[in-house]
Amino acid sequence: MRYDFDQEINRYNTASLKWDDVERQFGEKDLIPLWVADMDFMSCMPVIEALKKTMEHGIFGYPIQTEAYREAVVNWMKKRFQWEIRPEWLHYSPGVVAALSFLVQAFTQPGDKVLIQSPVYYPFSKAVTDNGRQLLHNPLKHEGERYEMDFDDLRQKIALGAKMLILCSPHNPVGRVWTKEELTELGEICIANNVLVIADEIHADLLYPGYKHTPFAAISEEFAQNCVVCTAASKTFNLAGLQNANIIIPNTILGKMFRAVMDAPHLVRTNIFGAVATEAAYRHGEEWLEQILVYLHQNLQFLTHYIANNIKQLKVVQPEGTYLVWIDCSALGMNSKELEQFMRKQAKVAIDDGYIFGPGGEGFIRINIACTRKTLAAGLRRLENAVNGKK
């Protein structure tokens, strides 16, 4: 079927973080929400139909993770990424962020050092510091147009005694889809130094034309044994509120250790709606995904042209994947707090301020383009008027 992503759906009064919590989060009324990473689009029909069926059954007792569910995940990874996983590698988590925290608990000790590649999705640093571990930054290099990993810096930081690296692949917010060569170099350095890699691959399905995602664990058996891959259907199919993630652990011993940590708070059981939606999406959602990828690409082109033509002070870092766009606002000459206030009070847009993503994020903003073109255009118009001093 043909989906219409231009259809405006009112999200106010739906308990939506992105829409209903803006005033509380940003301290201003009537901002256009272009922040937190969910989509303003309905999920695909197979998901909605499957959820309806479960809902109409009317019994919501304790579920199990079925073989059919695991088969759907296995088949998706094989079809989309030519990655052969085994059903027993799959572990449930109520979300990827929750899993990151539990993974830190499972595989490091209090005081241990954990690496992240800043600027990066801000819950990474919290997963480390809130669990009493020490954060080490391996900042990305921003040279010319795109961001690169800094392997010399990585070696130096690892020499300080890092035990774990949390990798964002594809990377939020800078939009890189890491190449197999880059991931291989990173992985070899980590293996040589006994650093476990936690690969957050939640954005893996959201790629722009010409880019290919390489699952970290698919690179080699050695890599598979030294990593945990965190995935979910939630970004891809707009299911974040259903809290279901798949934590893929090929190493049996690591799998047991993770399971032990999840057992304590009784988080080994799935959520019935999250499981039903994920299975339906992975079995029948590909047609929708192909269409949303086209719409997101058009939104990206629209934003790129709009900014190039009308807001010349801003510079778009072209993403290779994700529906999050990282924009350099340093030419506005504001410090982080001034830029934050400018976006809220002058531009009246709710965006994610770059500095929250850690070192290297100052002077940037992150815009979520998974919205209708009308909403995106309205947000960009406000930005243009504010930057160009118009009201």
Ligand X SMILES: Cc1ncc(COP(=O)(O)O)c(C=O)c1O
**Interface residues with ligand X (CB under 6 A)?**
37, 95-97, 121, 168, 172, 200, 202, 232, 234, 240, 245
Burial string for 174-198 (b: 16+ CB within 10 Å, else e) reads: bbbbbeeebbbebbebbbeeebbbb
Three-class secondary structure of residue 115 per DSSP: strand
| Least distance between ligand X and beta carbon 4 (Å) | 25
Distance from the Cα of residue 61 to its chain's centroid: 30
Question: What DSSP designation does 207 have?
Answer: B
CA-to-CA separations, 160 to 37, 226, 360, in angstroms, rounded: 34, 20, 21
| Least distance between ligand X and beta carbon 37 (Å) | 3
Q: Do the Cβ atoms of 377 and 6 come closer than 8 Å? A: no
Residue nearest to ligand X according to CB distances in the complex: 95
Three-class secondary structure of residue 358 per DSSP: coil
Q: Tokens 């079927």, residue?
A: 1
| 293 vs 311 by CB, closer to ligand X | 293
| 172 vs 372 by CB, closer to ligand X | 172
| Least distance between ligand X and beta carbon 240 (Å) | 5
| 96 vs 314 by CB, closer to ligand X | 96
| 190 vs 202 by CB, closer to ligand X | 202
| Least distance between ligand X and beta carbon 68 (Å) | 22
| 125 vs 172 by CB, closer to ligand X | 172
| 92 vs 288 by CB, closer to ligand X | 92
Question: What DSSP designation does 347 have?
Answer: I
| 234 vs 236 by CB, closer to ligand X | 234
Q: Which residues pair with 364 in a beta bridge?
A: 328
| 215 vs 348 by CB, closer to ligand X | 215
Q: Tokens 């010349």, residue?
A: 312
Q: 131 Cβ partners below 8 Å, 6+ apart?
A: 101, 104, 105, 108, 110
Closest CA to 211 of 293, 130, 126, 143: 293
Q: Do the Cβ atoms of 249 and 258 come closer than 8 Å? A: yes
| Least distance between ligand X and beta carbon 42 (Å) | 18
d(CA 334, CA 315) in angstroms, rounded, equals: 15
d(CA 123, CA 114) in angstroms, rounded, equals: 13
d(CA 39, CA 358) in angstroms, rounded, equals: 24
Q: Do the Cβ atoms of 208 and 297 come closer than 8 Å? A: yes
| Least distance between ligand X and beta carbon 99 (Å) | 8
**Cβ atoms within 10 Å of 160's Cβ, excluding its own:** 10
Three-class secondary structure of residue 74 per DSSP: helix
| Least distance between ligand X and beta carbon 127 (Å) | 10
* CA atoms in the 13 A half-sphere facing the CB of 341: 5
| 278 vs 372 by CB, closer to ligand X | 278
- Considering only CA atoms, give the Rg of the chain: 21
Q: Tokens 């929250």, residue?
A: 356
| 207 vs 245 by CB, closer to ligand X | 245
